[in-house]
Amino acid sequence: MKSLLFSRFLLLLPWVLIVIIVLDIDSSRAPLPALSPRGGAEGGSGGARSPAPRRRPEPALPTIYAITPTYSRPVQKAELTRLANTFRQVSRLHWILVEDAAARSELVTRFVAGAGLPCTHLHVPTPRRYKRPGLPRATEQRNAGLAWLRQRHQHLPPPQPGVLFFADDDNTYSLELFQEMRTTRKVSVWPVGLVGGRRYERPVVENGKVVGWYTGWRADRPFAIDMAGFAVSLQVILSHPKAVFKRRGSQPGMQESDFLKQITTVEELEPKANNCTKVLVWHTRTEKVNLANEPKYHLDTVNIEV
According to the annotation, is 265 in a ligand binding site?
no
According to the annotation, is 55 in a ligand binding site?
no
* Residue whose C-alpha is closest to residue 141's, from 234, 244, 230: 244
According to the annotation, is 169 in a ligand binding site?
yes
DSSP 8-state assignment for residue 262: T
According to the annotation, is 191 in a ligand binding site?
no
Strand ranges of the sheet holding 119-123, from the earlier edge strand across to the other edge = 119-123, 93-99, 63-70, 162-166, 230-233, 187-189, 270-271
According to the annotation, is 247 in a ligand binding site?
no
According to the annotation, is 142 in a ligand binding site?
yes
- Neighbouring C-alpha atoms within 13 Å toward the C-beta of 15: 5
According to the annotation, is 300 in a ligand binding site?
no
According to the annotation, is 170 in a ligand binding site?
yes
According to the annotation, is 33 in a ligand binding site?
no
CB 170 within 8 A of CB 286: yes
What are the Cα distances from residue 43, in Å, to 29, 33, 37, 156?
18, 8, 13, 50
3-state secondary structure of 62: coil
Angle at 108 between CA 105 and CA 109, to 5 degrees: 80
According to the annotation, is 121 in a ligand binding site?
no
- Which residues are catalytic, by number? 256
3-state secondary structure of 236: helix
Strands (E), the chain: 63-70, 93-99, 119-123, 162-166, 172-173, 187-189, 192-195, 198-206, 209-214, 230-233, 270-271, 281-282
According to the annotation, is 218 in a ligand binding site?
no
According to the annotation, is 184 in a ligand binding site?
no
**Crossing angle of the two packed helices 76-87 and 106-113, in degrees rounded to 10:** 20
Please state whether beta strands 162-166 and 63-70 pair in parallel, antiparallel, or not at all (unpaired): parallel
Known binding residues: 69-71, 100, 137, 142, 168-170, 283-285
Known binding residues for Mn(2+): 170
Known binding residues for UDP-alpha-D-glucuronate: 69-71, 100, 137, 142, 168-170, 283-285
